[in-house]
Structure 1
């Protein structure tokens, strides 16, 4: 499954929409996503599993890349 992760680059940043970043990661569960990103100092706001329609929409973005951790 592909997950979309919304995060702040620092665990100490207050979540502000304008500074929220996103990444796409392949994993089996949300827990695995958190485990894969645990070595980074991210403030993870939300993890969303992408269904096929949403994934196709996201792929249209020129900044779409799936991260393998």
Structure 2
């Protein structure tokens, strides 16, 4: 499944909507997504959303769409 994760780049700063970023990741479950991001980044995860086919097709139209991969 492809998941969209909205996050803040730092856990040390107060979250602001203007500083929210998104990444897309292919994983088995939301739990695996959280584990991968927690292990490889200092990000403050706001929301993890599973994308259905229609939503994924919409997101892929954005030229900045890119699946994030982490080294094992």
TM-score (norm. length: structure 1): 0.95
Q: 1:1-69 alignment to 2 at 5 Å?
A: 1-39=1-39, 40-69=41-70
Q: Which runs of 4+ in 1 moved over 6 A?
A: none
- Does the 8 Å CA contact 1:13/1:43 hold for their aligned counterparts? no
Distance of 2:15 and 2:55 partners within structure 1: 24
Number of residue pairs matched?
69
Task: Tell me the C-alpha RMSD between the 2 structures.
Answer: 0.7
Distance of 1:43 and 1:10 partners within structure 2: 6
Alignment gaps of 5+ in structure 2: none
Alignment gaps of 5+ in structure 1: none
- Does the 8 Å CA contact 1:3/1:25 hold for their aligned counterparts? yes
